[in-house]
Structure 1
Amino acid sequence: MLKPAEMFDRNHEWSALSRFITDEQPGATLGVVSGRRRQGKTFLLDAACRAGDGFYFGATEATDAESLRRIGASLTAHARPATPYHFANWSEAVDALLALGADRPVPVVLDEFPYLVRANPELPSIIQEALRPLRAERTNSRTRLLLCGSALSFMGRMLSGNAPLRGRAGLELIVRTLDHRLAADFWEISDPRLALQVNAIVGGTPAYRREFARGDSPSGPDDFDDWVVRTVLNPETPLFREARYLLAEEPDLRDTALYLSVLSAVADGNATRGGMAGYLERKATDIAHPITVLEDAGLLHRDADAFRENRPTYRIAEPLIAFYHAVMRPVWDQLERPGSAARVWQASRRRFVSNVLGPHFEQVCREWTLHHADPEWLGGLPARVGHGVVHDAATRKGHEVDVAVVGIPEGSGKPPLLAIGEAKWNDETGGARVQRLAHVRDLITRAGRYDTTRTRLLCFSGAGFNAKARAAADGSRDVGLVDLAMLYGKV
């Protein structure tokens, strides 16, 4: 299928859909497409239906009877049968969808599928029965049925455990946010520093530029502050309340106040379960459930400590939500008053840098190391990239490691620690940071968990490196310096 010219990137997703939809094998097949809201799933699937001359149905929050009437009317307009469709139940509707593929492979999309299941919980079982292997309606059809949803907790359960549709799907596609490099291209920002500042607020969600900011992108580094004021902190723009709506749209988040408080605790720097519990003045066991729900919803991400067992930390997965809790929520009443945004932003910039931009820069450094860094430069292919705290028994202090690159172990040997790194956004990195990393590497060696014979020392900086740091890295394989230009592939 020919990808629409107006579609930015999504080459992997379009290729996967094309292979699934145009597969000539007999028999109807099932695909599941999921992803966080505002990533362009509807645009992607609607375009696939247009390219494959298929049928697209977008569900809404409605009763079961109303949804059946709506899909009957939509299918009648699409197929133009001799008599209009009037479905008494979903078994009839699904069979009619399978009949669309009687002559050729046809894409059929049920978008926002969780809405339909909320009104009729038996729908997954009905589809399972319709796709039974020897059933004539399935074997005589080449319908490519695609179920799509944004409720990640629901979509994750749909194909797991004893769910009716487990083992039935021939495609499971996750539409992810754009990474920092693609996001910079999408926002048409060439300056790496400006690109990362914008990315720390809106992340890689395509809709935030096209629909929510009406195409408004900072014209240059000097325009960043004004852009924040006129788009993100402006009560007249959709971006202003988007973070609040993202929580309200999640069906599993019932006690909204508690979930907001958990996210606020993380945004304030309380990354451990104990830290969150202390912030909320509750027992750690009392917040176990909301943490799990936020994880399932894709709003909170759990990171294992690379050096200490059972000491995970948590981070907010959606940058706009992190920005909202760190900058907007504490002064929400002031921001709602027109004309206050510039004053609030001026007073909040330091908090933005420390609570939002700094942690986001560290995460981008980890993602770059995992997905973009040359394995030869790292000394091997990373198996995982995380962070953690290394304990120094002599001084009784913990040393934070922002980037820990673990390689693939050979045989039964220890996993190789390919690199450890420190990421600083606003501080020019010097020789002292290199020496600190060397000391941390010695501590890790003595702990004996990893093979550190090839461990590199990586310094990531958003402000550059001084002469001593560059001298330590020149001609040495032991030290690597990574600046913003390198993170964005500009060198």
Structure 2
Amino acid sequence: MFDRHREWDALTRFAVDPRAGATLGVVSGRRRQGKTYLLRALCQAVGGFYFAADEGADAESLRRLGEAVAAHTGAVAPLSFAGWHEAVDALLALGKATPLPVVIDEFPYLARANARLPSILQNALAPLRPEREESQTRLLLCGSAMSFMGGLLSGNAPLRGRAGLELVVPTLDHQLAAEFWGIDDPTTAVKVNAIVGGTPAYRREFARDDTPAGPDDFDAWVLRTVLSPASPLFREARYLLADEPELRDTSLYHSVLAAIAAGNTGRGGIASYLGRRSGDLAHPLTVLEDCGLVIREPDAFKDNRTHFRIAEPLVTFYHAVMRPIWSDLEHSRDARESRRLWQRSQRRFQSSILGPHFERLCRTWTRHMAPEDLLPDLPHRVISGTVNDPAARTSHEVDIVAYGLDDDNRQPLLAIGEAKWGETMGVPHLDRLRRIRGLLTHQGRPGAETARLLCFSGTGFTGDLQAEADTSRDVVLITPGDLYQRT
């Protein structure tokens, strides 16, 4: 098991909790993150019961569950359940003698076939009910349908207030992902992360442990994995959308994702790309958010402006690089033709994938991984924003905006920064940041006058800029190597 120490500790504490009374836990997360692996390992470690649901009719699921319970208890014949009330009580009975994890994986499949199931569980776990009070079953519901699992315990949902554990299994951050893939070169690590992100299954099951041997092997690795029609990674982005039950009109959602992947991060830009009115996008954007495929980020300086980004790098790569040449990729006759297609896609890969992804890594690093002395205080928020420049009749995009949080709940500005993946940064980039800091100071932003200036570059810095950083405490230069340096 790689990493996942926090998740494993939470699951084991929940599973062996000696207190009386059956308890409920909910485990969710995007697909391919290792949820099933964790839960199977938990059941193997303490002799728990594991049941993987399938898409099927209610009666078939009850029959399969009866067979699984009989096999677990050693019954001579499969159990026959008249309905889910009886089946749930049988699951509670499994933990009568000792605390026992009882896992129902892919729970959304069951609830889709029987919408009453959450209410049935609510009643089964009601306080003072004998079947619950006399049981130590630790019932764990697991699923990857993020919109469904996210609503299972929210608002007026039947199970709200019933759960003693709500665990979300996240993707690996870029540092852990590089370690998991066994990539030592920071530049190669950024490129690989920009395509496959931090999803563990993409290395083990999908790429079959095929990792780039070094910087010179990156292009060949792309061709033999994600761009190869014989690789599971080739169609994975399409399947991720197909797996979400809430995405009924997939053509519309693909178009919204394509607009965001093309750099249209605002609602107006997405609407223009699709040829629709901005108000028409409220529902599809909300659905994509609920499914965990799109993340909404506020502008650092404009309360009425929101940016959208795709949460899964592979989906971004598919829409920005693969979708425009999908037919050619599917019917490429040999390795030479595939190489030509990949070379033709380099500009899109650099501008639509690597540049924006590098910016996000820089924000993540500044917020969670930077050395303590990088900023004058602990960052509370690190986002991007837009600053108006009335004198020049323009506006400035700021890639990194770091806010702190003082004792009076004010958020002073700690730093602003610029990230350039394929460009050597020089003094003009620093002058631009100083201009923006001056504008923010003039606006009266707390902390703006002393905010540090961060320059992130994937290719390096000029000698003049390096000299400025050496003599000025408020100028900091950060390379990809720094992003992967453990603190």
Scaled by the length of structure 2, the TM-score of the pair is 0.97
- Offset from partner CA, 1:308-364 (integer Å, 9 cap, x none): 111111111100000000000011110001323211101101210110011000000
- 1:359-403 Cα offsets, whole Å, 9 max, x none, are 000000001111101343211111111001110010111111100
Match of 1:382 in 2: 379
Percent of aligned positions with the same letter in both sequences?
62
Q: Which position in structure 1 is the counterpart of 2:331?
A: 337
- Supply the AA of the counterpart residue of 1:144: R
Task: Map 1:307-456; keep pairs closer than 5 Å.
Answer: 307-338=301-332, 339=334, 340-411=337-408, 414-456=410-452
Tell whether the 8 Å contact from 1:57 to 1:110 is kept in structure 2 after alignment: yes
CA contact (8 A) 1:461 1:484 kept: yes
Secondary structure of the corresponding residue to residue 378 of structure 1:
coil
Instruction: Say whether the 8 Å CA contact 1:375–1:382 is kept in structure 2.
Output: no
Q: Secondary structure at the match of 2:367?
A: helix
Any idea what SS the aligned residue of 1:214 has? Answer: coil
Contact 1:379 1:454 in 2 (8 A): no
Q: What letter matches 1:187 in structure 2?
A: W
Aligned to 1:14: 8
| Residue 59 of structure 1: aligned partner | 53
2:472 aligned to which of 469, 476, 484: 476
Q: Aligned-pair distance for 1:83?
A: 4.9
| Contiguous gaps of at least 5 residues in structure 2 | none
How do residues 189-208 of structure 1 correspond to structure 2 at under 5 angstroms? 189-208=183-202
Q: 1:255 aligns with which of 223, 244, 249?
A: 249
Query: Secondary structure at 1:303's aligned position in 2?
Result: strand
Return the letter of the residue paired with 1:176. Answer: P
Report SS of the residue matched to 1:389: strand
Q: Quote the Cα distance in structure 2 between the aligned partners of 1:52 and 1:343.
A: 53
Kept in 1: contact 2:369–2:486 (CA 8 A): no
Larger CA deviation: 444-453 vs 106-115: 444-453
| CA shift for structure 1 position 415 | 1.7
1:393-419 CA-partner distances (Å, limit 9, x unpaired): 10111111100011103316x421111
Structure 2 equivalent of residue 69 of structure 1: 63
2:345 match: secondary structure = helix
Distance 1:65 1:394 in 2: 71
Deviates more, 1:450-459 or 1:357-366: 450-459
Partner of 1:112: 106
8 Å contact kept, 1:113–1:148: yes
1:3 alignment partner in structure 2: none
Q: Give, as a single letter, the amino acid of the residue that structure 2 aligns with 1:110.
A: I
Letter matched to residue 343 of structure 1: R
Deviation of residue 464 (structure 1)?
1.3
Instruction: State the AA in 1 paired with 2:61.
Output: S
* 1:167-226 CA distance string (max 9 Å, x none): 111111000100000000111000010011000000000111111111110111100000
Q: Which residue of 1 aligns with 2:280?
A: 286
Q: Which amino acid aligns with 2:44?
A: R
Contact map agreement 1:209 1:217 (CA 8 A) in 2: yes
RMSD (Å), alpha carbons: 1.2
Gaps of 5+ in 1: 1-6
- CA distance in 2 between partners of 1:69 and 1:82 (Å): 15
The aligned residue for residue 162 of structure 1 is 156
SS in 2 for 1:148: strand
Whole-angstrom distance in 1 between the partners of 2:70 and 2:3: 34
Matched residue, 1:304: 298
- 2:289 is matched with 295
Structure 2 letter corresponding to 1:416: P
CA offsets 1:47-71 (integer angstroms, 9 cap, x no match): 1111121001111100000000011
Count residues in correspondence. Answer: 484
Structure 1 distance, partners of 2:99, 2:373, is 44
State the distance in 2 between where 1:475 and 1:19 align: 52
Please give the alpha-carbon distance, in whole angstroms, between the structure 2 residues aligned to 1:449 and 1:61: 54
SS at match of 1:474: helix
Distance 2:90 2:40 in 1: 20
Distance (Å, rounded) in 2 between the aligned partners of 1:72 and 1:140: 21
Q: Calculate the TM-score normalised by the size of structure 1.
A: 0.97
Q: Map Cα deviations across residues 88-144 of structure 1 (whole Å, 9 max, x no partner).
A: 111111111111111111111100110000000110011111111101111111111
Q: Does 1:485 align with 2:485?
A: no
Q: Match for 1:215: what amino acid?
A: D
